[in-house]
Amino acid sequence: MSRRWGVLILFGIALALRLAAIDWTNRPPTGDGPLYDDIAMNLLSGRGYSDLGQPTAWVMPGYPLFLAGIYAIAGHSYDAVRVVQAALGALNCVLVLWIGRLLWNEPVGWLAGALCAIHPFLILAGTHLLTENLFLCLLVGMILFWVRFAASGRLRDLAGMALLCALATLTRPVLVCFPAFFVVWLLARRRQSRLRPLAALGVFSAVLLIPLGVWAGRNYLVFDQFIPLATESGDAFYDSYHPVDGKVFGRRDDQDPVLQTANRLFPKPCGTQESARSRFLFQKGLQSIWGHPAQVPRLLFLKAATFWSVFDWEILGEGRYNLGTAVLLPWAVVGLWFWWTQRRRVDLGFVALPILYIFAMGLVFYGLPRFRLTVEPLLALLAGVGLWWAWQRAAAHAVLVGGLAAWVGVNLTALRYSDAVKGSCRLVLERMGLW
C-alpha cells in the first residue's frame, strides 16, 4: 500500500470517528458558544462585529468569522459546523503524522497520527462550538511550517508559519508572545539559514503583523483606542486569582465585590467601555497579587493541577475521567526523556516549546483541561516516540503488548469509576490543604 493511500485511510478513520460522535440533533451551543454564534449571525445580517447591539472586541474574530463563513454556505446549522470541525480534526491527524515523520521517522509519525485519530478528547471536542477546534489546526499547521522551514530555509515555509501564527492569534490570543521565541531561534541559527536574518525577520514580521493590524485597525476605528487583542483578558486575569470558593477555575463568582463594581461601572455588553473594564480588572488582579503574595504559590499549584487534570468538566462533562489523556501522558513523559537523551534537543524544541509556552500562559491566567486540548496532538507525538522506543528496546514484544493492554485496562476501570477516583483525588488534596 502506498504512503498516499495510508494517509487517506488515516484521514478517513479519523473523520468517521468524529462524524460518529455528532448527535445530529443540531444541538445548540453551550458555554462560550452562544457568544460566538451571536457575533457570527450579526456579521451575516449586516450588524457588524457586535454583541447584543453593541460593537465588541470581547473575543478575537477568528472563530466568529469561521462560523459566519460556514453559515453563509450551509445556513444557520450547528451540525454543519460540527462536520467542518470533524474534517479539521481529521486533518490534524495527518499534520501530526507529517511532523512526526519529519522530526523523527515513519513509525513515530504513524503512531502519533493514529493516537490522535482515536483520542476521545480530540474526537468529542469537535462536537462543541469552541475556538479550540480552529486554533488547534492552525497551531499544528504553524509547527509543521516551522519544521519545514528549519529543514529547507524556504521563504514560503517561513511565510506559511507567520500567517498561521497570525490566524491562530486572531482565534485565541494565547500565542501573542510566541513569535518572540521564533525570533530568538532564527537569530541563533543565522549561520545555518539560507536567508539573511534581517530579510527573514522582515518577511516574518510583515506576514504576521498585517492580519493582526487589520483587527487592531478595526478596533481603533470603532473604539478610538488601540486594542490589539481581546478585551476579555482583564476578566480572565482577575478570575484566575479569584477562583470560585478559592479553587474552582473557569467559573465566575457573581458575589465578588470587585466584579460587582465592574458590572456596575461597565455593564456588559459595554461597547466602547470594554477596554476600560479590562484595565480596571487587570489592576484589581495585580493588587490582589501584591496584597496577598502568600496565596500565589497555592493558586499556581492549583492552576497547574487543573491544566494537567485527567478529569474534564467541559468536553467530556461532569468531571469525567479523561481516558485518552491518562493513557498517553506517561508515554509522553517517556518520549520526552528519550528524545532529550538522544541529544536531539533542537528538534525537541518544535514540540516541547509550544507545550511549555501554553502551559506557562495557563499559569499566568488559568489552565483548564480544555486549554490543554490545544497541545494534546503534541503530547500524542511525544507518546509516539515513547512507544517506538519501548518497542525497539523490548526483549519480548508480547510482554510489551500485554503491559499496554493492562495499562489501558486500568484506565478503563478508572473511567468506569470516575466519581470514586475523582473523590479520592479530592480527599488527598484536602488533606494537603490545597483544596
pLDDT of residue 400: 86
| pLDDT given at position 428 | 85
Write the DSSP symbol of residue 176: G
Give the model's pLDDT for residue 24.
84
Cα distance between residue 279 and residue 331, in whole Å: 42
Angle formed at CA 135 by CA 133 and CA 139, multiple of 5 degrees: 125
Round to whole Å and give the CA distance between 260 and 251. 15
Backbone angles phi, psi at 50, to 5 degrees: -140, 165
In this structure, which amino acid lies at residue 138? L
Neighbouring C-alpha atoms within 13 Å toward the C-beta of 134: 26
Side chain identity, residue 299: L
For the chain, the domains span 231-293
Question: What would the grid cell of residue 429 be?
Answer: 488534596
Q: What integer pLDDT is reported at residue 272 of this predicted model?
A: 75
Tracing cell 514540540 back to the chain, one arrives at 351
- What pLDDT does 203 receive? 87
377, HSE (Cβ side, Cα atoms, 13 Å):
35
Q: Output the pTM of the full model.
A: 0.93
What is the reported pLDDT for 41? 95
Which parts of the chain register pLDDT below 50? Answer: none
CA dist., res. 313 & res. 371, Å (int): 12
Query: What is the C-alpha separation between 121 and 230, in angstroms, rounded?
Result: 27
Q: Which residues pair with 248 in a beta bridge?
A: 244
Q: What is the pLDDT of residue 313?
A: 87
Closest CA to 100 of 114, 90, 88: 114
